[in-house]
Structure 1
Amino acid sequence: MSTDSPTGPPQVLPEEIAALRADLAAASYLTSTIEQLLGPVAADALRRMNPVPADRVLTAREESAAVLLRLFTLGAALPRPQVETALPSLGVDGAMRLGLVEPVPMADADGAVRALLELAPYSASDDAGQIHWWIASDLSELATGRPLGPEHVLGVGGASLTLARITPRASVGTVLDLGCGGGIQALHASRHAERVVATDLSERALAVAAFNAALNGIEIELRQGSLLEPVAGESFDLIISNPPFVITPRQAGEGTTTWTYRDGGRAGDALLAELVRALPAHLAPGGSAVMLGNWEITDPAAWDAHPRAWVQDALDDGVDAWVLQREQEDPAQYAETWVRDGGITDRDPEWATLVGAWLEDFAQREVEQLGFGYLLLRRPDPAARPPGAASRPGRLRTEQVPGTGSGALAPHLAASLDAMETLAQLDDAALAAARPVRADDLVERRHLTPGQWDPMLIELVQGAGFARRVRADQQLAATVGALDGTLTLGQVVGAVCALTDADEGKTLERVLPAVRELILTGMATL
């Protein structure tokens, strides 16, 4: 199979890095500038990996940001004088020393240069404010016109953005970015951690991460090795991971190309199993782990069977675990997704062989579906327990989440993990004596047959978080409606039962578990 051959990794040369940073800033090489230059049609097309509209827009533009985008994203070979103008402090010779560009063979008298790496602006925001960075990565198939190579280092893609959105940003002492790739998660973590360690099996990925850290003036500690080997015996307050979880056929022969950045070299979903079982030993008291992953499903009625087995050791160790499945694909869809991710389409001769290898691999293990989602772990801090509270086994929650509501997911997930610990210390009597408050984003929807007074369905709907919907009867809806913190939960249930002539004992049996669930999912708070 023909793939791109990696060039040498970027070099971290302080003087040249400083000059490049100054040139990028002077060019206003920012996400907002690029969006403005391209316009909505070309920008949207570029996000879909269609460069034609962007190339048409940019060809006649002389602004430095337009030149840099054509060079570093579209893969255009440009005249040396034009690149010198866009990088006046660094110059083409400096860019060559950094490993960013090379001369084009057989160029004309003026010479021409082309990019060896993609260099893209990146913008985001967090609790510390606005972020404007530049992120280097290997050139995409959009620029090279070839499938990705085995040692390819990805830029900031959908998975990276998802992981950044679900990672808690509370200030912590130590963070581990496991499988750091180009280092985007480590860069984010540096804004709320005293120390960040980033690891990867790929030497090339670590070189790109070192370049990105230096270019953006950020210090991270980089270590090479497989999974948790580089941090043996260490613990962290937060572990972040977008591991190489993609399930790839292991049989010999064609169709088994390994993309190091996404394939962990194990059969099936064994890498995730190995990693999840090992992670708890590296969580400090109060520490959390947030990771992406996928898992094989052999029985659709038990979609969570694999992750349940993976976290059993963690639960025995007192660590809470939460598995959230966002979507499922059948084996054919999964194969198509990841073959295309490698830059191969159904027009390429390798397509049928690769897809067939995936389907055969899944058939051997009787895999019917593949689940995608998040895995979260939290080791409770003994010092945070109420006085006299005993240690407990870990709590497990698995759920298929329907969608995403408004607001940020990271605070929602962190609050739910906190609620898991709080609720573990409350028996039914203590919960009845508590004063829960319904969330501000919670609304009630009633579905009625036209002309009827009594609803055939009552739903409690979450506006933020995962936009969950909970079916409710009249008593639960009335109880939740009165949860403003004035009365205890038991008092509210008593009042509702007095008004509806319902049996208080039986109502409590139904309402208490339902309110626990509402608190755990952020639809009410304690």
Structure 2
Amino acid sequence: MTPDLSPDRIDRLRDAFLAARYDADGVVDLLGAEAHAALGRGEPVPALRASTDAGALGTLVRLFLLGTAEPTAAVADALRPLPLDEAHAAGLLRTDGDAVRAGLDVRPHGAGDESWWVVSDLDSELRGDGRPVDPDHVLGVGHASLSLVRATSRRPVGSLLDLGTGCGVQALHASTHAERITATDVSERALALAEATFRLNRVEVELVRGEWFEPVRGRRFDQVVCNPPFVVGPARTDFTYRDSGLAGDDASALVVRQLPSFLNEGGTGQLLASWLHRGGEDWEDRVSRWLPPGGVDAWFVQRDIADPELYVGTWLRDAGYDARSPEGQRKAAEWLDWFEANDVEGVGFGFVTLRRTDAARGEVVCEDLRHAFDDPLGPESDGWLRRVDWLRAHGSTEALLASRLVTAPTTVLEQVSSPSDEGWENVVHRLHRTDGPGWQHEVDDLGVRLLAGCRGAMPVGDLVELLALGCGEDVTELTAAAVPMLRELIRHGMVIPAEWISE
């Protein structure tokens, strides 16, 4: 049943939250950093202790964040001016004997200087009834949605499409850099909760219902973000938020294939995606085949690979299934049977950045970045596309050799030595980028010397000639080795054009 979250009810709920300081800063101030961090780890007791005898704010924290049953009078006071009967009618509350519990998940969500509220369905743990979530369950702010937030470019744009908005968290973040936002979803319930989220936060969003890109057919946007139902496996729709009804990784393939046609020239798209690792098939070849023909720059970043058993167990728990129950065992067996029948050895997960370009041939790069790093990929995707543009403009060897390059300040050199008859002998020269995804590249001794000279003082071609002369090397052979090395280092931001230093 779709909740009746009328504008008037949402406005009064907002007034109650503002009066109680039920926002990102207010919750942290009440709980303290340690209890707040414990709550994020799924440990509620410190937060329960900190919120005791804390008035209306404490009641709201326990009600919506801890899932406890609260006295009716205390909740009525905390939600004033929204009457209890109105809150029940809106689906915000449910009766539990003489007390009340939350009927929906409504929690503060902070980012930088922004503080929002996000309305979603309660997960199986907070609901406390031991049942799996409902088929039309609307997911809240989870790990996947936050990872997409961090992987999304925040450069200012005129128009943005949030495809499959769910509870609306991507559109909320988009409001910080997009002038106009359109959000779609196939689920009527998701759109109702997203509309409540936007009303609660005074964010203007155009909401349209429909499958995939159908609601915006014929339109184009400066940016598209998408957290699709990317779970791979048999073709089914047990849960709208994760199952597409398409088999395998066809949902991710569909979005990658169609998204560029909904972009303005130079527009970008960012999405989460999953892909199959099948016996005898390279994952890079697989995802590259999803791209439409023509001018599309694409950056596929693989952040994890899960074996089938781990993958199935994780998603069953996410939906609230007990893996030991008959139903849990049946679903796990069906899923694993499908993986075995389709020769699936693992499931890759990561981010895709796409850009519509007028270039005759787009740049397509697939990279495995499963190592740990903290920097968000959103700014890095902007940098990657900028570097692609520069490399495209300097596509010939002559153009590259005529440019002036600088070894980036964030690039450091690690040298590994082994003992020899004459002391220590360098056996490995490894470049590290200390920010972004933390790329590493091994170079030889001549590469180290060349990069030491990349200070923007003279063209690269002159540096190569001087190095060849000083080391007794053939300049043609040295150039042939240096050019592809420099292109790769530029692509990864470890060497940059000299003119960028002053920006």
For residues 99 and 303 of structure 1, what CA distance do their matches in structure 2 show? 44
Q: Aligned in 2, Cα 1:354/1:36: closer, same or farther, shift over 3 Å? A: farther
For residues 412 and 210 of structure 1, what CA distance do their matches in structure 2 show? 31
Which residue does 2:271 correspond to in 1? 291
Q: Aligned in 2, Cα 1:435/1:95: closer, same or farther, shift over 3 Å? A: same
Matches within 5 A, 1:227-246: 227-246=212-231
TM-score by length of 1: 0.89
Matches within 5 A, 1:58-207: 58=51, 60-104=52-96, 106-107=97-98, 112-125=99-112, 130-145=113-128, 146-207=131-192
Higher mean displacement: 259-268 or 302-311: 302-311
Task: Give secondary structure in 1 for the equivalent of 2:426.
Answer: coil
Structure 1 residues 240-292: Cα deviation after superposition (integer angstroms, max 9, x where no partner)? 00000101333xxxxx6611001111111112222221112111100111100
Which residue does 1:385 correspond to in 2? none
Which residue does 1:356 correspond to in 2? 333
For residues 463 and 19 of structure 2, what CA distance do their matches in structure 1 show? 62
Matches within 5 A, 1:268-287: 268-287=248-267
Q: Percent identity?
A: 38
CA contact (8 A) 1:10 1:100 kept: no
CA contact (8 A) 2:277 2:348 kept: yes
For residues 85 and 471 of structure 2, what CA distance do their matches in structure 1 show? 82
Give, in angstroms, the shift of residue 301 of structure 1. Answer: 6.3
For residues 100 and 31 of structure 2, what CA distance do their matches in structure 1 show? 23
CA contact (8 A) 1:402 1:468 kept: no
Matches within 5 A, 1:444-455: 444-450=413-419, 452-455=423-426
Structure 1 residues 62-115: Cα deviation after superposition (integer angstroms, max 9, x where no partner)? 3322211211122222112101222233242443354312343x42xxxx3221
Asked if 1:416 is matched to 2:384, the reply is yes
For residues 84 and 423 of structure 1, what CA distance do their matches in structure 2 show? 62
For residues 29 and 482 of structure 1, what CA distance do their matches in structure 2 show? 56
Task: Give secondary structure in 2 for the equivalent of 1:175.
Answer: strand
TM-score by length of 2: 0.93
Task: Give secondary structure in 1 for the equivalent of 2:158.
Answer: strand
Matches within 5 A, 1:390-469: 391-405=359-373, 407-426=375-394, 427-450=396-419, 452-469=423-440
For residues 503 and 39 of structure 1, what CA distance do their matches in structure 2 show? 65
Q: Counterpart of 1:428 in structure 2: which amino acid?
A: T
Matches within 5 A, 1:473-484: 473-484=444-455
Give, in angstroms, the shift of residue 39 of structure 1. Answer: 4.7
For residues 442 and 466 of structure 1, what CA distance do their matches in structure 2 show? 12
Pick the aligned partner of 1:317 from 257, 282, 294.
Answer: 294
Higher mean displacement: 41-50 or 430-439: 41-50
Task: Give secondary structure in 1 for the equivalent of 2:66.
Answer: coil
Give, in angstroms, the shift of residue 454 of structure 1. Answer: 3.0
Pick the aligned partner of 1:217 from 190, 202, 212.
Answer: 202
Give, in angstroms, the shift of residue 406 of structure 1. Answer: 5.3
CA contact (8 A) 1:437 1:484 kept: yes
Structure 1 residues 41-81: Cα deviation after superposition (integer angstroms, max 9, x where no partner)? 644443333445544554x3333222112111222221121
Give, in angstroms, the shift of residue 148 of structure 1. Answer: 1.4
For residues 137 and 233 of structure 2, what CA distance do their matches in structure 1 show? 16
Q: Counterpart of 2:107 in structure 1: which amino acid?
A: A
Give, in angstroms, the shift of residue 208 of structure 1. Answer: 0.7
Task: Give secondary structure in 1 for the equivalent of 2:332.
Answer: helix
For residues 22 and 491 of structure 1, what CA distance do their matches in structure 2 show? 67
Give, in angstroms, the shift of residue 193 of structure 1. Answer: 1.4
Q: Aligned in 2, Cα 1:408/1:334: closer, same or farther, shift over 3 Å? A: closer
For residues 103 and 390 of structure 2, what CA distance do their matches in structure 1 show? 52
CA contact (8 A) 1:137 1:153 kept: yes
Which residue does 1:372 correspond to in 2? 349
Which residue does 1:343 correspond to in 2? 320
**How large is the Cα RMSD of the aligned pairs?**
2.0
For residues 163 and 257 of structure 1, what CA distance do their matches in structure 2 show? 23
For residues 68 and 10 of structure 1, what CA distance do their matches in structure 2 show? 21
Q: Aligned in 2, Cα 1:481/1:26: closer, same or farther, shift over 3 Å? A: farther
Which residue does 2:492 correspond to in 1? 521
Give, in angstroms, the shift of residue 470 of structure 1. Answer: 0.2
CA contact (8 A) 2:296 2:363 kept: yes
Q: Aligned in 2, Cα 1:10/1:170: closer, same or farther, shift over 3 Å? A: farther
For residues 92 and 300 of structure 1, what CA distance do their matches in structure 2 show? 60
Task: Give secondary structure in 1 for the equivalent of 2:132.
Answer: coil
Which residue does 1:3 correspond to in 2? none
Q: Which runs of no fewer than 5 residues in structure 1 stay unpaired?
A: 1-6, 251-255, 383-390
Structure 1 residues 381-432: Cα deviation after superposition (integer angstroms, max 9, x where no partner)? x5xxxxxxxx421121111014354544211111111211321232111011
For residues 334 and 366 of structure 1, what CA distance do their matches in structure 2 show? 15
Asked if 1:23 is matched to 2:8, the reply is no
Q: Counterpart of 1:354 in structure 2: which amino acid?
A: K
